Chains A and B, each alone.
Chain A
């Protein structure tokens, strides 16, 4: 995008002024290079978000923003119930509560390197990944309801996880207000055999080495030790969330029309906060959040089991588990008054600053861990939420590197085997059910994750604590 199309507020804040039906301005946090390389569609989509009723302060986009559907990926918007605000299924997307968890193993990275290929094969065989894969758990109606209400707590009670994990998961592993009666039969059927599956696309399980520490005090609080191995898992609410997104996008279109909401893009389908449609959607969406939390807890359990085979003395601890496609009711201070807003984050991470009561006590003085997945050939980052993120973007930060190239273009440019071979020469082992999938996820298809996290830090959203480099990547 052309920087001159924006009002530059500071080094990393670019404002789209109100025009047309926009109710508030739109702000993108990025450095100048990221802005120049960003898809033009982000400008249009963020401007569209700014037209929705009851939007507060501004529509925001994170440094990894790219063209999405309805909202841009990397989009954040808060809506005020007192000002006719809305809930938008399009503002959360199909992969409800897609998120990341990072687990610390305490095992030196060189010990992992010595069993790299065998470990990769074990993970690939035992962690169900890709379209058509099935988990070991088949849920009947009663267990489905228990899972949708209980989230990671259900998984642990079911024998898949550890009790101590709960304090390291957003919402302590279980979001309140889930409405199992608002989840369709089709959504349930899609999830019946998908618990403990990784999914596909950009979802992955990656074994990593802590490569660099930027903030030793924060790293110590987080338990990050240089040259030790960590494991990061990226996936969401699987078929259940996809179907809930599908069901309610369809339902919200007539609901928006009935409420007189003019949608600049049908994908922004919304319903007024408090309406029956919005209430039902939020109940179903929270059930999907619990599904995602349970799913990642089960995957963490599978990881521990496999890891224990190779490293029997290892104590695999959860650093944190955070979602990046959600709508949450959160108190925020606007114009000197703290009120509750409906904060939509689509491809954006909650990033509470130091001292926030929602952060687990051992991490509270540092700030909430913000887990940034990179590409399988570059790096991932652990950041800490900054207090300034509250005023900058309702305590939000980026969620990944962000795509720089479409899947279509990437598959034309690279061959999966060539990508895998090249990564292997750099010590990174890739396992995937699909070589074309590997090509579509080639590291070159992503933005420079280092530039994205540096921009997030300069923008006052989240600061760098550590960088992780990939050793093994299981792609779905």
Chain B
């Protein structure tokens, strides 16, 4: 994973995460609790970076193992607003995970208004190595939020049904 170790616990202050090598990162992800399912949250200096981090949180909900960026898939989506675009984006990844039997560990997102184009990279699921803990069914509008704070940090979050 790109930011392994950065996001398992909620940082006290979004936007500045200390990496394992001691350097500072301006982006990260975390999970947040939901009754039966799981919340994913990504943040970064741009909307696209926050979406990339939310996608990493989605993958981390499934596996704690490394995911190799071996094969490339292109994804596009479009929605009525930024929040629904996040739901669409995560659902597009869930769909590709399901039909290709893949996990994805690297995401390059471009957002233009309410249109998103991305290149996602990953590998076939290896049950022995990845030990998938759950199967995401769909991203929901519960706890759905896409916003920029006063410091300019973008956050993208919602609950995923697992």
Contact = CB atoms under 8 A, between A and B. Distances in A.
B99 A69 contact: no
B38 A407 contact: yes
Interface stretch (A14-22, A127-135, A326-334, A419-427): A127-135
Contact of B135 (A130, A192, A265, A403): A130
A70 B142 contact: yes
B95 A433 contact: no
Contact of B35 (A41, A189, A249): A41
Interface string A15-49: 00000000000000000000000010100000000
Contacts of A67: 34-36
Given A93-B161, A265-B142, A131 B125 contact: yes
A265 B95 CA distance: 24
B146 to A, nearest CB: 13
A160 interface: no
A436 B134 CA distance: 9
Interface in A55-98: 66-70, 73, 93-95
Contact of B31 (A93, A134, A408): A408
A305 interface: no
A40 B144 CA distance: 18
B23 to A, nearest CB: 26
B142 A476 contact: no
B4 interface: no
Interface of B: 31-39, 62, 64, 80, 84, 87-88, 91, 94-95, 97-99, 101, 124-125, 127, 131-135, 137-142, 144, 159, 161-162
A139 B111 CA distance: 36
A436 B131 contact: yes
B56 to A, nearest CB: 16
A277 to B, nearest CB: 15
Interface of A: 39, 41, 66-70, 73, 93-95, 130-134, 186, 189-190, 192, 199-202, 239, 242-243, 245-246, 249-250, 253-254, 265-267, 269, 403, 406-409, 411, 433-437, 440, 476
Nearest to A246: B138
Contacts of B141: 69-70, 249, 265-267, 269
10 contacts: A68-B36, A94-B137, A95-B137, A131-B125, A190-B95, A243-B95, A407-B37, A409-B33, A437-B134, A440-B133
Given A189-B99, A253-B84, A408-B38, A476 B135 contact: yes
A393 to B, nearest CB: 20
A66 B36 CA distance: 8
A435 B131 contact: yes
Contacts of B98: 190, 239, 242
Contact of A200 (B33, B80, B91, B162): B162
A75 to B, nearest CB: 12
Given A131-B62, A403-B36, A408-B34, 20 more contacts: A67-B34, A69-B142, A69-B161, A70-B140, A94-B137, A94-B138, A130-B132, A131-B97, A190-B98, A239-B99, A242-B94, A242-B98, A246-B91, A249-B138, A249-B141, A267-B140, A267-B142, A407-B134, A434-B131, A437-B133
